[in-house]
Structure 1
Amino acid sequence: MPLFILGLVIGFGLPIQTAVNSKLRSVLGSAFNSSLVSFGVGTIFLTAVTLVTTHSLTINGSFFSTEPWWIWIGGALGVVYLTGNIILFPKLGSVQTVIMPILGQIVMSMLIDNFGWFYSKQHDFTWFRGVGALLVLAGVFLSVSLTQLVLKQKNSPKEATSQNNESNYIRLPWQFLGFVTGMLSALQTAINGHLGKVINSSLKAALISFLVGFITLLIIVLINHYAHKPKQAIQLVQQPWWIWIGGIIGSLFVLGNIFLVPLLGTGLVVVIVLVGQIAGSLLVDQFGWFGAKKNPISAIQLLGLLFMVGGVVLIKFF
Structure 2
Amino acid sequence: MPLVFLASALLIGCLLAVQASVNQRLSRAVGTPFGAATLQLLIAGVVLGLVALATGAVAAMGRVPEVSHWWLLLGGVASPLYITAGILLFPRLGALVAGALFVTGQVFASLGLDLLGLLWVPRRPFGPGILLGALAVVAGVTVMITGSVSGRLTRVAVPVHSAAALASGGTRVDAPASPVRQALGTPTASRLAWTLLGLAAGAVLPVQGAINSRLEGEIGAPLAVATISFVVATATILVVLGTLLTLRRTPRPQLRPLRTMPWWGWLGGLCAAVYVTVTFLLIPVIGAAVTVALTVTGQQVASAVIDHRGVLAMPRRRLTAARAGGLLLLVAGSVLVHWS
Report the equivalent of 1:215.
Answer: 235
TM-score (norm 1): 0.81
Report the equivalent of 1:186.
Answer: 206
Report the equivalent of 2:106.
Answer: 105
Pick aligned residue for 1:231 from 252, 255, 259: 255
Q: Give the unaligned 5+ runs of structure 1.
A: none
Does the 8 Å contact 2:148/2:323 carry over to 1?
Answer: no
Report the equivalent of 2:302.
Answer: 280
Q: In the TM superposition, what is the alpha-carbon distance from 1:278 to its structure 2 partner?
A: 1.1
Report the equivalent of 2:76.
Answer: 75
Report the equivalent of 2:275.
Answer: 253
**Structure-2 change in CA distance of 1:191 and 1:11 (3 Å):** same
CA distance in 1, matches of 2:310, 2:153: 23
Report the equivalent of 1:291.
Answer: 313
CA distance in 1, matches of 2:99, 2:231: 27
Report the equivalent of 1:118.
Answer: 119
**Structure-2 change in CA distance of 1:289 and 1:156 (3 Å):** closer
Report the equivalent of 1:94.
Answer: 93
Report the equivalent of 1:23.
Answer: 25
CA distance in 2, matches of 1:6, 1:253: 10
Does the 8 Å contact 2:17/2:99 carry over to 1?
Answer: no
**Structure-2 change in CA distance of 1:236 and 1:102 (3 Å):** closer
CA distance in 1, matches of 2:229, 2:260: 32
Give 3-state SS (helix, strand or coil) of 1:123's partner.
Answer: coil
Deviation readout 1:18-63 (Å, 9 max, x if unpaired)? 12111011111110111111111111111122222x2341325444
**Structure-2 change in CA distance of 1:98 and 1:37 (3 Å):** same
CA distance in 2, matches of 1:239, 1:48: 25
Does the 8 Å contact 1:110/1:125 carry over to 2?
Answer: no
Q: In the TM superposition, what is the alpha-carbon distance from 1:4 to its structure 2 partner?
A: 3.5
CA distance in 1, matches of 2:100, 2:307: 18
Question: Which amino acid is the alignment partner of residue 231 of structure 1?
Answer: L
CA distance in 1, matches of 2:233, 2:21: 20
Q: In the TM superposition, what is the alpha-carbon distance from 1:68 to its structure 2 partner?
A: 1.7
Give 3-state SS (helix, strand or coil) of 2:151's partner.
Answer: helix
Matches within 5 A, 1:148-167: 148-151=148-151, 166-167=187-188
Does the 8 Å contact 1:197/1:262 carry over to 2?
Answer: no
Q: In the TM superposition, what is the alpha-carbon distance from 1:204 to its structure 2 partner?
A: 1.5
Does the 8 Å contact 1:121/1:262 carry over to 2?
Answer: no
Does the 8 Å contact 1:190/1:261 carry over to 2?
Answer: no
Give 3-state SS (helix, strand or coil) of 2:59's partner.
Answer: coil
Q: Give the unaligned 5+ runs of structure 2.
A: 155-175
CA distance in 2, matches of 1:238, 1:87: 23
Does the 8 Å contact 2:45/2:230 carry over to 1?
Answer: yes
**Structure-2 change in CA distance of 1:85 and 1:248 (3 Å):** closer
Structure 1 position 200 matched with structure 2 position 220:
yes
Q: Which moved more, 1:177-186 or 1:285-294?
A: 177-186
**Structure-2 change in CA distance of 1:156 and 1:199 (3 Å):** closer
Does the 8 Å contact 1:14/1:249 carry over to 2?
Answer: yes
Give 3-state SS (helix, strand or coil) of 2:124's partner.
Answer: coil
Deviation readout 1:259-315 (Å, 9 max, x if unpaired)? 344556655544432221111111112332222223343344443343344334433
Question: Which amino acid is the alignment partner of residue 275 of structure 2?
Answer: F
CA distance in 2, matches of 1:177, 1:308: 19
Number of residues of Structure 1 aligned to a counterpart in Structure 2: 310
Question: Which amino acid is the alignment partner of residue 287 of structure 1?
Answer: R
CA distance in 2, matches of 1:59, 1:271: 30
Report the equivalent of 1:57.
Answer: 58
Percent identity of the aligned residues?
27
Instruction: Name the Cα RMSD after superposition.
Output: 3.5
Does the 8 Å contact 1:136/1:311 carry over to 2?
Answer: yes
Report the equivalent of 2:325.
Answer: 303
CA distance in 1, matches of 2:193, 2:310: 34
CA distance in 2, matches of 1:165, 1:219: 31
